[in-house]
Structure 1
Amino acid sequence: MTKNSPSSSHIHLHILTFLLLSLVFHGSTQRNDPDQEQSILLSLKQHWSNPSSLSHWTPSSDHCTWPEIACTDGSVTSIAIINGSITETIPPSICDLKNLSYIDLQWNFIPGFFPTVLYNCSKLEYLDLTQNYLVGTIPDDINRLSPRLQYLNLAANNFTGDIPASIGSLSSLVTLQLVANLFNGSFPPEIGNLSNLEMLDLSYNPFAPQAIPASFTKLKKLRNLWMTEASLIQEIPDDIGNMSALEFLDLSVNYLSGDIPDSLFLLKNLSILFLYKNRLSGPIPQRVEALKLQVLDLSNNTLTGPIPDDFGNLTSMTGLALFFNQLSGEVPVSIGRLPQLVDIRLYSNNLSGELPPDLGRYSMLRAFEVSSNQFAGELPKYLCANKVLLGVIAFENKLKGDLPDSLADCNSLRIVRVHDNQLSGKIPDGLWTSINLTTLMLSNNLFAGKLPGSVGSQLSLLELMNNQFSGPIPASISSWERLTVFRASNNSLSGVIPQELTALPLLSTVLLDGNQLYGPLPSTIISWKSLTTLNLSRNQLSGEIPASLGLLPDLVYLDLSGNQFSGQIPAELGRLRLTSLNLSSNRLSGRVPGEFENGAFDSSFLNNPGLCSNTRSLGISPCRAESRKPDKHSSKFIAAVSSIAAVAFLVAVLYTIYVCRSYRKRKHASESTWKLTSFQKLNFTEANILSGLIENNLIGRGGSGEVYRVPVNRSGEYVAVKRIWDNVRLDHKLEKEFLAEVEILGRIRHSNIVKLLCCIASESSKLLVYEYMENRSLDKWLHWKKRPHSISSSVHYVVLDWPKRLQIAIGAAHGLCYMHHHCSSPIIHRDVKPSNILLDSVFNAKIADFGLARMLIKNGEPDTMSVVAGSFGYMAPEYAQTRRVNEKIDVYSFGVILLELITGKEAHNGDESSSLAEWVWRHVKEGKPIVDALDEDIKEPLYLEEINTVLKLGLICTSTFPSSRPAMKDVLQILLRCSQRLPTGEKTKRNEYDVTPLLHNSKPDRSLESDDSVFTSI
């Protein structure tokens, strides 16, 4: 036995060695066998329905060379399929790739719940499932993910409920991003246990109100904390200063209250701090050691006290925003010497004293906004010393003296708003002619001098009201070609009104009342095709009122009162759709035109002794009775009309018989026969279209059919094809919609109405072929955060800022205005909503989907519809209740869209008891700040005033009573004026650009107790 023992041990040792080597070899083969890994990847492709983005995944190629795959030592370690049109779930087989450590499947269409199959990926370190269709709650056992996991990003999905406490057990996490989901529960304090965490992003989630957990302050390695719009309440933890690595902190748009902790400004590495739009109060901490601070935004709070002197030591500071607070005292002089400062916004506070004199001297200052304070002294003289200043916004202060010389040579300037001060002197010539200046607002000051001979080529808005300007209006004013608004009331302008003023083609508003102008008005008006408002009252103008005023297509407000006009009122004025007319206190004579003999003009003609009218409400003398001779030709005329009508009826009967016979013949034709009816010049055939109606080209489904994106040539041109139905037995309702769309789109042409190229029809199917709109519908862009994959995977998302939104609103208004006012028979759309506003590649808007549209009723026809059609939230109340149809139902729907563009909210949230219009009305009536209602993407202060105007317009458009709503023609003019201005809009005590006078005569909406006072807080 002893002899054999070594031999037996030796054998056992060989067996053990063999087994170990076999295990190692077997494991190595399982991980590194290229054929096996390629088979797994090909099975993934098959599971994902072979998306076109993975067409290069073929057995004949090396999978490690595929762009989406990365290998280490021949084994797959990474899968990154971004924007790959994956529409299926993640299968368990993905974890058969034993060395897989990196998974990035963002911007796809992956459905279902959180993929717990990934628990089996034992080496997973990086997981990104951003922008998919994942729903439900994050599982309570999410800590079963690999303990190696360092990066977890589930942003822009549809997760709800609570974030589970177990997520705090993923101890290796460095990045955790759960932004833009639908979490409506809580986030756990256990996140504070993630000691390696460097980035935490919980923004844009409707959490239940919750304080910032004290445990979060234990995250000593955390560099970025982003919790915007996360329903945070109570105070910021005092010991937030313990988070020593913090560089980026965004707690904006929440309900935080109390003081700002002193320790926050002691963080040595802090560079970005956003606390705007909270309920923070008390003073700003006076001790500031965060010397790396670059951007500080504490706006929209109720902070009090002075601006800290230590802010003058923040030499890295580029942006300082403290607007909409209650700060007081003087601005530290040292802030004007900060070398990196490019943006300072202090408006709407109680700041006083002189502004730092060196502002703009040592830095590339671009934005200077200090309006609505109590500043005294002069404007800083170096504001544009470095020639990059974009705007001077200093209105509503107590500033004195001349405008700074540096503005005379500042070609970067776009906007100057210094109205409502005590400034004086002459306007520098260089400012008048600044090449990029669009807006110059100088009203309510003590400026003097004459109007210039020339202005900058971009100037569109000029306000000079209530100053001391004198001299004539120069004849060279015809060169001010881009001018749209010219307000110069209450000055000392003299001389005649030159003919050249009427040559400005874009001019929409002229206010020259309260001056010393004399002589007759130009008898011929050259180019005032856009003029909506003309006020020449309280001058010394004389002669007859030119009949040419009655030819101005858009004029709605006319005031010539307090002059010396004589003669009769031109009959042509009766053609105008005036909402306000004042011809009082002149020397006019004769009878008032019949169009004005109603109560709407009861004060329009007073103090004209020679005028008469038989309408008592006008308050002028009655006219003598006039005898009228009977019309000798009336009976002959009636007989002729009757004869023509009889002939027309006979022709109609014969034509009907012919059509019916033709229909019977066509009915027997083969069902496979297609007929193409063209409305435009085409570069494709019906064969191109029919061959493209395949599943891969399907881009949408709706109640009336499917929509395809079909290529029509090799140069990359596409068309959109709407298949109305595809069944042998035709649905009567769909057929009516089809015929309506063909009838309307086939005969109208407008750049803001989607172009119908042709119709292709057979007995069993109807196809409408449109121009293809690259950016799909407004609905998909406006609500992408709630429906992140509403944006096409082929389209790169960009933020819809205010200029883009206003551009879209104007485009849609142009289309509706054309339908209502410029078609031979006005057209009512009846279903105006964001999904029916399509956007091309540069976001030009076009009205689409005319399936519910109808021609406006003619005299004698019923004005109601047998069935209510439309979309909840956009449907005018009288239409839903009475089925009464007129243009005002489209105006109501468009008003809802305006409110949607401004608030970012949907017209309804599945709750049919309330609507967006009602929500905004309540918000206004309760006196809440309008800025609280704005979409976060458009809270740029530069545009607040224009947004206020459009919000008012949206409210008036959604008035309960149709008579209170404006016409689309007037709506368009207001939007165009906002577009021409686009100035830096701050909160003002009164809105200089109200919707008056265009809508001044709108009847109040008594059901909502709406009157001018409703808008005082806007």
Structure 2
Amino acid sequence: MPKPPFLFAKTPFPALFLLLILSLPFQVISQNLNDERSILLDVKQQLGNPPSLQSWNSSSSPCDWPEITCIDNTVTEISLCNKTITKTIPARICDLKNLIVLDVSYNYIPGKFPDILNCSKLEHLLLMQNFFVGPIPAGIDRLSRLRYLDLTANNFSGDIPAAIGRLRELFYLFLVQNEFNGTWPTEIGNLANLEHLAMAYNDKFLPSALPKEFGALKKLKYLWMTEANLIGEIPESFNNLSSLEFLDLSDNKLEGTIPEGMLTLKNLTILYLYCNRLSGRVPSSIEALNLKAIDLSDNHLTGPIPAGFVKLQNLTCLNLFWNQLSGEIPANISLIPTLETFKVYSNQLSGVLPPAFGLHSELKVFEVFENKLSGELPQHLCARGALLGVVASNNNLSGEVPKSLGNCRSLLTIQLSNNRFSGEIPSGIWTSPDMVWVMLDGNSFSGTPPSKLASNLSRVDISHNKFHGPIPAEISCWMNIGVLNASNNMLSGKIPVELTSLWNISVLLLDGNQLSGELPSEIISWKSLNNLNLSRNKLSGPIPKALGSLPNLNYLDLSENQFSGQIPPELGHLKLIILSSNQLSGMVPIKFQHEAYEDRFLNNPKLCANVPTLNLPRCDAKPVNSDKLSTKYLVMILIFALSGFLTVVFVTLSMVQVYHRKNHNQDHTTWELTPYHKLDLDENSILSSLTENNLIGCGGSGKVYRIANNRSGELLAVKMICNNRKLDQKLQKQFETEVEILKTIRHTNIVKLLCCISNETTSLLVCEYMENQSLDGWLHGKKQRTSSMTSSVHNFVLDWPTRLQIAIGAAKGLCHMHEYCSAPIIHQDVKSSNILLDAEFNAKIADFGLAKMLFDQGEPNTMSGIAGSYGYIAPEYAYTTKVNKKIDVYSFGVVLLELVTGREPNNGDEHMCLAEWALDQFRERKTIEDVVDEEIKEQCDRAQVSTLFKLGIRCTDKLPSNRPTMKEVSEILQQCSPQEGHGRKKKDHEVAPPLQNDTYPTTYK
């Protein structure tokens, strides 16, 4: 009987058929991957074959490419974050049928919203930090599965389409920092699954009220709408946001009262409503027991601080400053066990400070200044050893400083100015290891000046007190002091020569004391000194000529002393000089004989002048005695003869010394040259050019020479540091830091390091030479401007287009350091003297001796000491030793204010620096004409000047979190210039529109 065909054992058909069936999925998968690889390679080509995608090739599986994620052997995720892409995203990318995630953040992608609406399965779309322009497409709801959309920091404009409200799966929507100029779509209130909503920094939106429809977002946990041009009241419907954890509506123009239900939201942990126009009382019904931070500062809130805050047992930060709060501070607030930051300054609070502050929590920041508080400071502020700062100035506080503060090793600042404190200062305050600022002026403190100070201490103000005795010789150890104000005390004795060793000091005020004797001749070492006031003392002797050689000195007041002799003509470069009420004689130097000095030389009976405006006797010519004239000529001949003889002797000795030194160096010293760029000269050519004739600068960090490359004619700058100098280890460390950083940077707005030359005693940096030297010299006239520095086009004055060009270039350099170096670099000493200008006035950042590279941003980076220059130092130096990018932003903001106003960084007004002065002008609603530099007022672009002034104020905000990043600063500046056509915030073919008005922003604290 024949067998059925399928039972025939000899045929292979069943096994082959089974094998074929099993292999079909693998063939399909393989073909699918081949197709997707082909699509991705096509996408790569349309993106311009960026080098960052070199791993994309035809010989490997796309699932092995680092930018690609696959699930079940199909491409589901593309991550092109920070790949330096400059081309538009091709629509071909949507041929990947299973694409779920597309991330092209932090690139330079131009053009309109990418053509990706056919990516039907897309759930995550990240486009932040690019150059996208134009509107969000009205058909965006075609991406019906979209759950995560982030368009932050682009140039999208127009209305936010209502279609966004139809993306029902959306749980994350970030539209931060764009150019939207419509109104907030109420349809967003339809997004029932939305948990995170951020639309901050969209100040071009039409003034709009908060949509009450947002109150329907029951799942919303995060709402961020800082600086979004919001007006009107906070809707009562917001009391229904039961899931809300984070609410930030700061920097708007919201009015009315804070809804009573706002502080009853059970899940709320962060509440920021600062910098609005909210009025009325703070709600007393406080049930949001999870609150960790409350910031209601800079509003118009009145009434008392609610005692109900004591219920917030998780509260770490309470900011109520800049309001009109009154009454006493509730004692039970000091019992909150988690409280770290307490800021209630600039109110009308009265009564005594609760004595338990610091006893029950790790209090870190305690700021109560500018109120009507009385009584003593709490004794236990530093009981937990965490206190960083006590700021209680401008109250009616009295008594002695608690001795416990003298044992507080964590303190960074103590500011008790303008109270009624008395007694001696606990010695530990002066030596607290991290102390930065001590401000005790305007009290009745007594005792003698401290002989020891903390190494980081940079600012001391003990003026208007009762300190007595001599200035201690140990003052030479106060090496980081930048500002010392001891005016109006009872200090006596001579000014010690040790005081002249404070090489970093920029402001020295000793007026109104009982100091006597002559000024030490060693004052030549005060290279950083800007302001010197020794008036109303008993000082005598001649005025040292060396004062005229101090490169940064602008203000000198020696009035009401007993100085004698003639006024040194070397003082002619000073902007402000007051020498009245002394015993000076002779003719006032010609440079001072004009009306600006009419009251600066009064009450010097033996002084004379040839102009009536000085109100001094005229220097009448007297008959010449022929015998005296002959004697005079004879003396002159003898002097010349003796000078010639001494010159010959000196030159001979010098040649012998040079010969021996040269032989010694050849025998015992080996120079090592390390090139960082191609050079056509050797170390001998450089070393032989380091002569006095080529010396162009000399400061605290060494000498600078200008030398010429005889082969190419190129000019080079050589910075020399000698290790046998005082502070050699510190200078050598700065030198090594500068080399380490500059050798890794290649950017057109950062000075180029060509090579390094060193031996056992000397180190040399060889850099490109900057023909127009520093911005500081041009703005403030501290350097001699010769015809070799400039052309007649600029007529010795920086015109406005050039200033704008400099600002843009410097910002680009700093932005590159912060954002695009493999390890971010913090300069720490940004100032106009460290911005150098080439022949075309292009700006380059220089002097990286204090810079720091952030190799691991996950770990804290601390400063070993105070870095920077007075007037440019960010206020947070008083509270933290951590390095962050916002320190550079603050300093650059000061530079912007210098460019606009022409003022110096510590010359805002009599008692404030430039940043403080500018903030005052903004608060007083001064016009641009009131603040702009007189030299450019007639020819500057008013809109551009307004933008830079406002940006300078924003960069110098007291709160680092309120300052923009250098990337944002650079983008804003590039909007101002028609030449910067491809900057962010501007279409490629457009010039940024002028500002419509001169109202200043209301976002700065």
| TM-score in terms of structure 1 length | 0.65
Q: Provide Cα deviations, 1:343-379, integer angstroms capped at 9, x if missing partner.
A: 1111111111112222222222222111111111111
For the structure 1 residues 456 and 34, does the alpha-carbon distance in structure 2 shift closer, same or farther, using more than 3 Å as the test?
closer
The alignment partner of 2:288 has SS state of coil
Task: Provide the rounded CA distance (Å) in 1 between the counterparts of 2:713 and 2:553.
Answer: 29
Within 5 Å, give how 1:190-589 maps onto structure 2: 190-205=187-202, 206-525=204-523, 527-566=525-564, 568-570=565-567, 572-589=568-585
1:827 matched to 2:796 = no
Match of 1:959 among 933, 941, 944: 933
For the structure 1 residues 124 and 597, does the alpha-carbon distance in structure 2 shift closer, same or farther, using more than 3 Å as the test?
closer
For the structure 1 residues 68 and 534, does the alpha-carbon distance in structure 2 shift closer, same or farther, using more than 3 Å as the test?
closer
2:38 paired residue number = 39
Extract unaligned runs of 5+ from structure 2: 1-19, 634-672, 681-707, 721-740, 751-772, 818-824, 843-886, 940-951, 961-1003
The alignment partner of 1:57 has SS state of coil
Write the letter of the residue equivalent to 1:421. N
Task: Provide the rounded CA distance (Å) in 2 between the counterparts of 1:963 and 1:35.
Answer: 65
Write the letter of the residue equivalent to 2:85. I
The alignment partner of 1:407 has SS state of helix
Write the letter of the residue equivalent to 1:616. P
1:746 paired residue number = 715
1:852 matched to 2:850 = no
2:157 paired residue number = 160
Task: Provide the rounded CA distance (Å) in 1 between the counterparts of 2:575 and 2:527.
Answer: 17
2:846 paired residue number = none
Write the letter of the residue equivalent to 1:834. A
2:181 paired residue number = 184
Match of 2:142 among 137, 144, 155: 144
1:83 matched to 2:82 = yes
1:72 paired residue number = 71
Task: Provide the rounded CA distance (Å) in 1 between the counterparts of 2:900 and 2:489.
Answer: 41
Deviates more, 1:275-284 or 1:376-385: 376-385
The alignment partner of 1:827 has SS state of coil
Give the drift of 1:683. Answer: 4.9
Deviates more, 1:474-483 or 1:289-298: 474-483
Give the drift of 1:824. Answer: 6.6
Is the Cα–Cα contact under 8 Å of residues 479 and 504 in structure 2 kept in the other structure? yes
The alignment partner of 2:141 has SS state of helix
Task: Provide the rounded CA distance (Å) in 2 between the counterparts of 1:480 and 1:902.
Answer: 24
Is the Cα–Cα contact under 8 Å of residues 88 and 111 in structure 2 kept in the other structure? yes
Is the Cα–Cα contact under 8 Å of residues 820 and 826 in structure 1 kept in the other structure? no
Task: Provide the rounded CA distance (Å) in 1 between the counterparts of 2:254 and 2:437.
Answer: 37
Task: Provide the rounded CA distance (Å) in 2 between the counterparts of 1:506 and 1:918.
Answer: 26
Write the letter of the residue equivalent to 1:86. I
For the structure 1 residues 565 and 851, does the alpha-carbon distance in structure 2 shift closer, same or farther, using more than 3 Å as the test?
closer
The alignment partner of 2:180 has SS state of coil
For the structure 1 residues 569 and 63, does the alpha-carbon distance in structure 2 shift closer, same or farther, using more than 3 Å as the test?
same
2:613 paired residue number = 617
Q: Provide Cα deviations, 1:201-224, integer angstroms capped at 9, x if missing partner.
A: 111112111111111100000101
For the structure 1 residues 389 and 946, does the alpha-carbon distance in structure 2 shift closer, same or farther, using more than 3 Å as the test?
farther
Deviates more, 1:433-442 or 1:540-549: 540-549
Give the drift of 1:415. Answer: 1.8
Task: Provide the rounded CA distance (Å) in 1 between the counterparts of 2:133 and 2:54.
Answer: 28
Task: Provide the rounded CA distance (Å) in 2 between the counterparts of 1:89 and 1:581.
Answer: 61
Give the drift of 1:776. Answer: 4.9
Give the drift of 1:171. Answer: 0.8
Extract unaligned runs of 5+ from structure 1: 1-20, 635-679, 688-738, 752-769, 780-810, 855-897, 909-914, 926-940, 966-977, 987-1016
Match of 2:596 among 590, 595, 600: 600
Write the letter of the residue equivalent to 2:593. E
1:113 paired residue number = 112
Is the Cα–Cα contact under 8 Å of residues 226 and 250 in structure 2 kept in the other structure? yes
1:836 matched to 2:809 = yes
The alignment partner of 1:368 has SS state of strand
Write the letter of the residue equivalent to 1:34. L
Task: Provide the rounded CA distance (Å) in 2 between the counterparts of 1:325 and 1:506.
Answer: 38
For the structure 1 residues 284 and 521, does the alpha-carbon distance in structure 2 shift closer, same or farther, using more than 3 Å as the test?
same
The alignment partner of 2:231 has SS state of strand
For the structure 1 residues 532 and 565, does the alpha-carbon distance in structure 2 shift closer, same or farther, using more than 3 Å as the test?
same
The alignment partner of 1:352 has SS state of strand
Task: Provide the rounded CA distance (Å) in 1 between the counterparts of 2:522 and 2:421.
Answer: 38
| Percent of matched pairs sharing the same residue | 45
Is the Cα–Cα contact under 8 Å of residues 608 and 619 in structure 2 kept in the other structure? yes
For the structure 1 residues 244 and 534, does the alpha-carbon distance in structure 2 shift closer, same or farther, using more than 3 Å as the test?
same
Is the Cα–Cα contact under 8 Å of residues 778 and 835 in structure 1 kept in the other structure? no
Task: Provide the rounded CA distance (Å) in 2 between the counterparts of 1:252 and 1:480.
Answer: 42
2:666 paired residue number = none
Deviates more, 1:423-432 or 1:483-492: 483-492
Task: Provide the rounded CA distance (Å) in 1 between the counterparts of 2:27 and 2:76.
Answer: 14
Give the drift of 1:412. Answer: 2.2
Give the drift of 1:243. Answer: 0.8
Write the letter of the residue equivalent to 2:43. L
Task: Provide the rounded CA distance (Å) in 1 between the counterparts of 2:215 and 2:413.
Answer: 44
Is the Cα–Cα contact under 8 Å of residues 209 and 233 in structure 2 kept in the other structure? yes
Task: Provide the rounded CA distance (Å) in 1 between the counterparts of 2:594 and 2:623.
Answer: 22
Task: Provide the rounded CA distance (Å) in 2 between the counterparts of 1:45 and 1:132.
Answer: 18
Give the drift of 1:244. Answer: 0.3
Is the Cα–Cα contact under 8 Å of residues 779 and 899 in structure 2 kept in the other structure? no
The alignment partner of 2:60 has SS state of coil
Task: Provide the rounded CA distance (Å) in 2 between the counterparts of 1:546 and 1:466.
Answer: 28
The alignment partner of 1:821 has SS state of coil
Task: Provide the rounded CA distance (Å) in 1 between the counterparts of 2:776 and 2:52.
Answer: 39
Give the drift of 1:684. Answer: 4.9
For the structure 1 residues 413 and 954, does the alpha-carbon distance in structure 2 shift closer, same or farther, using more than 3 Å as the test?
farther
Give the drift of 1:440. Answer: 1.2
Task: Provide the rounded CA distance (Å) in 1 between the counterparts of 2:718 and 2:355.
Answer: 57
Give the drift of 1:331. Answer: 1.3
Is the Cα–Cα contact under 8 Å of residues 775 and 835 in structure 2 kept in the other structure? no
Write the letter of the residue equivalent to 1:959. D
Write the letter of the residue equivalent to 1:827. M
Is the Cα–Cα contact under 8 Å of residues 254 and 277 in structure 1 kept in the other structure? yes
Task: Provide the rounded CA distance (Å) in 2 between the counterparts of 1:826 and 1:597.
Answer: 29
Write the letter of the residue equivalent to 2:178. N
Write the letter of the residue equivalent to 2:33. P
Task: Provide the rounded CA distance (Å) in 1 between the counterparts of 2:58 and 2:929.
Answer: 62
Within 5 Å, give how 1:754-903 maps onto structure 2: 774=745, 776=747, 813=775, 821=783, 827-828=789-790, 830=798, 831-832=802-803, 833-837=806-810, 838-839=813-814, 841-843=825-827, 847=835, 850-852=838-840
Give the drift of 1:983. Answer: 13
Give the drift of 1:621. Answer: 3.2
For the structure 1 residues 538 and 76, does the alpha-carbon distance in structure 2 shift closer, same or farther, using more than 3 Å as the test?
closer
For the structure 1 residues 377 and 42, does the alpha-carbon distance in structure 2 shift closer, same or farther, using more than 3 Å as the test?
same
Task: Provide the rounded CA distance (Å) in 1 between the counterparts of 2:478 and 2:901.
Answer: 43
The alignment yields a C-alpha RMSD, in angstroms, of: 4.4
Give the drift of 1:194. Answer: 0.7
For the structure 1 residues 818 and 230, does the alpha-carbon distance in structure 2 shift closer, same or farther, using more than 3 Å as the test?
closer
For the structure 1 residues 919 and 241, does the alpha-carbon distance in structure 2 shift closer, same or farther, using more than 3 Å as the test?
farther
2:133 paired residue number = 135
Task: Provide the rounded CA distance (Å) in 1 between the counterparts of 2:431 and 2:836.
Answer: 43
